[in-house]
């Protein structure tokens, strides 16, 4: 009887611990998000940015967690470049993010079919 009570107590303790940890681990979303910018897809290192920003989601997600509303070129430029410039980290020049659309001469390649 005593052995059964100890076993029951240990199982309850383990179950309670697992439940607490399951509830406290937040959903950080995908590790990498593929941001669509016209014909381009830019890999955004989501988890790296979260860690850098101390998991303060509202640096980027103004009103709610999840997909950023009205994602556009202007949103990306205002949000990303200003943060990178202020923190002195991350790309701030066009070709640093948009490598695939710049020629070797440093000039912008027009959108449309690419060779």
**88 domain-assigned:** yes
**48 domain-assigned:** yes
How many Cα atoms are found within 13 Å in the side-chain-facing hemisphere of 33?
16
Torsion of CA 67, 70, 73, 77, to 10 degrees: -70
Per the structure, the count of domains in the chain is: 1
The pLDDT, as a whole number, for residue 114 is 46
For 52-102, what is each residue's pLDDT tens digit? 888 888 888 877 778 887 778 888 888 888 888 888 788 888 878 776 666
Taking a C-beta distance cutoff of 8 angstroms, is the pair 46, 32 a contact? yes
CATH code at position 83? 3.90.10.10
User: Roughly how many angstroms between the first and final C-alpha of the chain, as a whole number?
Assistant: 78
Per the structure, the complete domain to which residue 86 belongs is given by 32-101
For 8-48, what is each residue's pLDDT tens digit? 666 666 766 554 444 455 678 889 988 877 777 778 889 99
**106 domain-assigned:** no
**107 domain-assigned:** no
Taking a C-beta distance cutoff of 8 angstroms, is the pair 92, 84 a contact? yes
């Amino acid at each position: 009887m005593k052995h059964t009570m100890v076993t029951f107590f240990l199982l309850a303790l383990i179950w309670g611990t697992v439940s607490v940890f399951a509830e406290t681990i937040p959903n950080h979303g995908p590790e990498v998000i593929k941001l669509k910018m016209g014909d381009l897809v830019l890999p955004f290192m989501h988890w790296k940015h979260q860690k850098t920003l101390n998991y303060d989601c509202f640096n980027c997600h103004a009103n709610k967690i999840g997909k950023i509303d009205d994602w556009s070129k202007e949103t990306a430029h205002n949000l990303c470049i200003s943060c990178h410039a202020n923190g002195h980290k991350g790309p701030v020049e066009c070709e640093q993010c948009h490598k695939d659309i710049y020629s070797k001469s440093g000039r912008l390649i027009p959108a449309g079919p690419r060779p």
